[in-house]
């Protein structure tokens, strides 16, 4: 897994609409919560996505954005977003190139490990969590990232992305 303090690898993947999105584009002026998950529509991944959906206003208000990555197709991601009213971008890594670059490929190349990274505007990983089946740890990680980001936004200044 990419370590805290390391530069996140640059990548380009299609989003849920089939548009190519790069890490540098996603970081345009905002820090990023980048999370990797095994599959659309599975119970654990659905819970994690809905937790992030429910925190989305707070995430944006803290000057952050959230993006999910899994190996399903853009079409699957679009259906997943629609069914659960997910307001954030989902990226399709069908060849698992980015999953491998972040070193979150499952054992023997099977599946994807559940991991969440906080990447600053400069592309450096500031914090991360790998908790596979402990989905609550990812929610706590994001809530902490939001709290820390809010502390850094000067009073009276509206954070970007809101």
Residues involved in catalysis: 45
SS3 127: strand
Q: Which residues have a Cβ under 8 Å from the Cβ of 20 and sit 6 or more positions away? A: 12, 13, 14
Alpha helices in 1-130 (DSSP H): 23-26, 43-61, 74-84, 97-101
Closest CA to 115 of 73, 69, 65: 69
């Amino acid at each position: 897994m990419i370590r805290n303090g390391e530069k996140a690898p640059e990548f380009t993947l299609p989003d849920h609409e089939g548009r190519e999105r790069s890490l540098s584009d996603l970081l345009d002026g905002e820090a990023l919560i980048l999370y990797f998950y095994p599959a659309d529509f599975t119970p654990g991944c659905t819970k994690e996505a809905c937790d992030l959906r429910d925190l989305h206003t707070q995430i944006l208000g803290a000057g952050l954005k959230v993006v999910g990555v899994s190996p399903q197709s853009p079409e699957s991601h679009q259906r997943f977003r629609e069914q659960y009213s997910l307001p954030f971008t989902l990226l399709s890594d069908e060849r698992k190139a980015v999953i491998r670059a972040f070193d979150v490929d499952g054992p023997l190349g099977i599946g994807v490990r559940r991991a969440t990274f906080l990447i600053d505007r400069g592309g450096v990983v500031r914090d991360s969590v790998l908790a596979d089946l402990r989905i609550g740890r990812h929610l706590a990680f994001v809530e902490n990232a939001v709290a820390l980001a809010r502390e850094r936004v000067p009073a009276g200044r509206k954070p970007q992305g809101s």
